[in-house]
Structure 1
Amino acid sequence: MLRIWVSCLLLLQAGAALAGPWPRQEKTVFLSISTEHDRDGNSYTGLYGEYGLSARSTLGLELGHASAGEVSALLWLQRALDDGTGANRWTVSSGVGVIERDGELVPLGQVGVAWGRGLDRLPGGGWISVEARLKVTAETESVILRQGMTVVEYGYLTPEYTAKADVTLGWNATPKMMLINQLRLEDRQDMAFSAKLGASIVRDIGGPVKLELGVIAPVAGEGEYALRAGTWFAF
């Protein structure tokens, strides 16, 4: 528990990740392609997309591939609860999808809630957000019967249910660079509670493209240090 609180203090000294509680501007698109690799060779590669349906509604898509042998797809809709005025932003979301594992298709559902606010007092500006999600799938024999996998490898597979919370703080350090930290908390049905701290630099390389480089460190529960790399597109 002490290590988690220390991580929270570190989080408040740097920056954050995607500002989820802010709806995507109507008829605009955001895409992110990223990959995470740990030192044991485990990896996760994902495509994340948002499309602004209206001033208060955002449509999202997430596609993922885990080296442990899983492919996932999730389509979700996020709705703003506030009217866009004031300091605080609140959203709720729900989504449905599917997981493919060992040739077996498994339905997937997710609900979430998020809060965020801008940090105008930071030089260059920034934001803080908290996003909580509950993800549920059907029970699958392929997970129950899997043998020979380490606990870390097993953690890359989607469990029957998992509750996650991401605390994110972002800082626009320069006009072309953001510093991003994120504390990831997870409580899943088949493993003990875990916490990870991620830190990234996002650099504007021109036009609608940004590059992201970062590291992820376990601070509680099972996990390995990992490297993260990604590309962002906004248009």
Structure 2
Amino acid sequence: MPQRIALGLVLLAALPSIAYAGAWPRAEKATFLSLSDERDSDGNSYTSLYGEYGLTGRETLGFELGYTNVGETSALFGLQHALEPWGENQLSVGLGIGMVARDGMFLPLAQASANWGRGFQGFMQGGWLSLETRLKVAGAMKDQADFADLSDSAFNYLTSEVTVKADFTVGLHATDAMMIINQFRFEQTDEAGFTSKLATTVVHDLWGPSKIELGLITPLSGPDESAVKLGTWLEF
């Protein structure tokens, strides 16, 4: 079974304090937490707890704990390093390791990332552009025959041995209290082949450091179903 190291390009906000830090490092000793649930029209779901902590001015620690109702739990822990800015472009690289549990098996998970992002002004209250590519590798664990009772869309909620992913994001500050995030997601796995989706999310301030996130995920190609996403953010 192929075993490779993961590599990616992640980006997100026009300011370091926006959502997932992506290419921007989290400020030193600053914390970001997100709890979210994604559920498709077939009833499949993925629930995650994501966090970041600014270790230094350039290093950000991160983690993601995930659970899907089709029988899988995962944990990924990583370190992101911000590179010197290139003009208005922000760059970073990262590595992560973790584990996937399914049917009593505990198998390794690895990911590497390289991130780019930049902000812009002149429309609404400004925004950001981001491009994320990622290669995630997991231990051999997924045999289609063992999950013959799952639909194609449910099967895609399980971790593939090798996942190549690219996301292109356009984010806007619609008002002081609201962001609109559009993300094109492209993914290639051995099992599902090539798939693409458009995820549109609205993030609105609640009170203090908390925000609420509501999104719609629309498949453009591949066996996925439409899904909704509900989440909360906390920054302090």
Same fold (TM over 0.5): yes
RMSD (Å), alpha carbons: 1.6
Letter in 2 for 1:99: V
Letter in 1 for 2:188: D
Mapped to 2, the partners of 1:59 and 1:28 lie a distance apart of 11
Cα drift, residue 19 of structure 1: 4.9
Which residue in the other structure is 1:222 paired with? 223
In the alignment, is residue 67 of structure 1 matched against residue 69 of structure 2? yes
Aligned length: 219
* Structure 2 stretches lacking a partner, 5+ long: 1-17
In the alignment, is residue 54 of structure 1 matched against residue 77 of structure 2? no
Q: TM-score, normalization: structure 2? A: 0.89
Mapped to 2, the partners of 1:63 and 1:206 lie a distance apart of 25
Mapped to 1, the partners of 2:132 and 2:32 lie a distance apart of 18
Letter in 1 for 2:29: K
Q: Is the 8 A contact 1:31 1:233 kept in 2?
A: yes
Which residue in the other structure is 1:122 paired with? 123
Cα drift, residue 141 of structure 1: 5.8
Mapped to 2, the partners of 1:117 and 1:21 lie a distance apart of 9
Which residue in the other structure is 1:108 paired with? 109
Mapping of residues 1-235 of structure 1, within 5 Å:
18-82=20-84, 84=85, 86-140=87-141, 145-235=146-236
> Greater helix share, 1 or 2?
1
SS in 1 for 2:116: strand
| Deviations 1:84-136, CA, capped at 9 Å, x for gaps | 47310111111000001011101100011111001122231211111111110
Change (3 A) 1:31 1:164: same
Cα drift, residue 146 of structure 1: 2.0
Q: Is the 8 A contact 2:182 2:198 kept in 1?
A: yes
Mapped to 2, the partners of 1:159 and 1:225 lie a distance apart of 20
Mapped to 2, the partners of 1:39 and 1:103 lie a distance apart of 28
Letter in 1 for 2:163: T
Cα drift, residue 142 of structure 1: 5.9
* Structure 1 stretches lacking a partner, 5+ long: 1-15
